[in-house]
Amino acid sequence: MVGMIAYPLKFRAIYKQRIWGGRKLHEVFGKELPASEKIGESWELADLPKDKSVVINGELAGLNIREAIEKYPAEITGDEDFPTPFPLLIKILDAEDVLSVQVHPDPETCRRTGRGEPKTECWYIISAADDAVIYKGLKEGVTREQFAEAIEKGTVAEMLVKVPVKRGECHFLPAGTAHAIGPGLLIAEIQTPSDTTYRVFDWNRVDDAGNARELHIEQALESIHFDMSGDELPVTTMGRLVDCEYFKIDNGHQSKDCEVLLSPGGMKTLIILSGLGTILGTEEEPVEFSAGDCLLIPAAYKGAMRFAGDTHYLTVTL
């Protein structure tokens, strides 16, 4: 097989209607959202059974992420035997209202119970209302019995660490952390490829038909790490934001007219939070980028990012 001429891959966003969503993805990033729907999530890069990101530019346009990698594994990933699924799920979240209190299982819990897919994640705060908060882990000393009693009483929030947040913070949430996102937040979420979510409390909320959302209390209690306090979880704002076994995230800022070289040797994903510019190699057409874009830079790619305006972006590597 003749190898591909490597180039930055762009993808079609997958929009998810959520009871807590809004329209900020259009207001901030100009995304063409379905009309009259509350869109809470824009999946920028996904390889799940029912949702796979589709390439929208260049030779691979029309193929989903898995098909593209199967066609050119070494050129894209640097590994002829790259495993599936693609090991990242990248989203932008618009939390106009508060999200449910929930937890995601870790690998050991999934093995023990025989269900679900493990999920570790982090939240980068793109913008935040003045009074915005997240709920991040359990308060010190909260036991399984106390938490179960709080579920019955509807006082779960009192068991959680309530954290005021502001733009530019990155919050790491390992699997097993009970958590919730408060209203007024726009967030870039980088996580392992799982859609397993166990809700334990939804603020007594109902949908337009008057129905409460499903809760997963037993599964959640099996998944929460009661020996880990939310006060122990890190918050970062500069440089290397996350360095865990699943992914690494670096914070980048570049001024107008600057240039950053992209050298072969390691696949990376770029999440453009603000600004715009062009990525130009030696053998392919230039690829433009702007705020809200997510680009996969193949391992074999050689080129440069040229910034047409002050730009803020995240670089995700494995």
Please indicate, yes or no, whether residues 311 and 272 belong to a single structural domain of this protein: yes
pLDDT for 145-196, tens place per residue? 999 999 999 999 999 999 999 999 999 999 999 999 999 999 999 999 999 9
pLDDT for 182-239, tens place per residue? 999 999 999 999 999 999 999 988 878 889 899 999 999 999 999 999 999 999 999 9
Average pLDDT over residues 7-20: 97
The predicted pLDDT at position 2 comes to: 57
Contact 19, 91 (CB under 8 A): no
- Could you tell me the two tokens for 305? 């990012």
The mean predicted confidence, pLDDT, of the chain is: 96
Q: Which of 193, 195, 194, 190 lies closest to 269 in space, CA to CA?
A: 190
The predicted pLDDT at position 305 comes to: 97
- Could you tell me the two tokens for 94? 């618009």
Please indicate, yes or no, whether residues 261 and 189 belong to a single structural domain of this protein: no
Please indicate, yes or no, whether residues 268 and 144 belong to a single structural domain of this protein: no
pLDDT for 248-300, tens place per residue? 999 999 999 999 999 999 999 999 999 999 999 977 789 999 999 999 999 99
Q: Which of 125, 43, 175 lies closest to 314 in space, CA to CA?
A: 125
Percentage of residues in the chain with pLDDT exceeding 70? 99
The predicted pLDDT at position 1 comes to: 40
- The CATH number of residue 278's host domain is 2.60.120.10
- Could you tell me the two tokens for 280? 């130009």
pLDDT for 62-98, tens place per residue? 999 999 999 999 999 999 999 999 999 999 999 999 9
Look up 205 and say whether it is catalytic: no
Please indicate, yes or no, whether residues 41 and 175 belong to a single structural domain of this protein: yes
C-alpha 142: how far from its chain's center? Answer: 28
Please indicate, yes or no, whether residues 202 and 255 belong to a single structural domain of this protein: no
Please indicate, yes or no, whether residues 106 and 38 belong to a single structural domain of this protein: yes
In a domain, 44, yes or no: yes
Contact 12, 60 (CB under 8 A): no
Contact 61, 8 (CB under 8 A): no
Residues contacting 211, CB < 8 A, separation 6+: none
Query: pTM score > 0.85 for this model?
Result: yes
| The total number of structural domains that make up the chain | 2
Please indicate, yes or no, whether residues 112 and 235 belong to a single structural domain of this protein: yes
The predicted pLDDT at position 39 comes to: 98
**Residue finishing a domain among 239, 267, 295:** 239
**Residue finishing a domain among 239, 271, 289:** 239
**Residue finishing a domain among 211, 239, 267:** 239
In a domain, 3, yes or no: no
Task: Determine whether 30 is exposed, middle or buried from the number of CB atoms within 10 Å of its CB (0-12, 13-18, 19+).
Answer: exposed
- Could you tell me the two tokens for 294? 């997510």
Domain that holds residue 128: 9-239
Q: Of 12, 18, 199, 240, which one is the catalytic site residue? A: 199
Please indicate, yes or no, whether residues 194 and 290 belong to a single structural domain of this protein: no
Contact 34, 26 (CB under 8 A): no
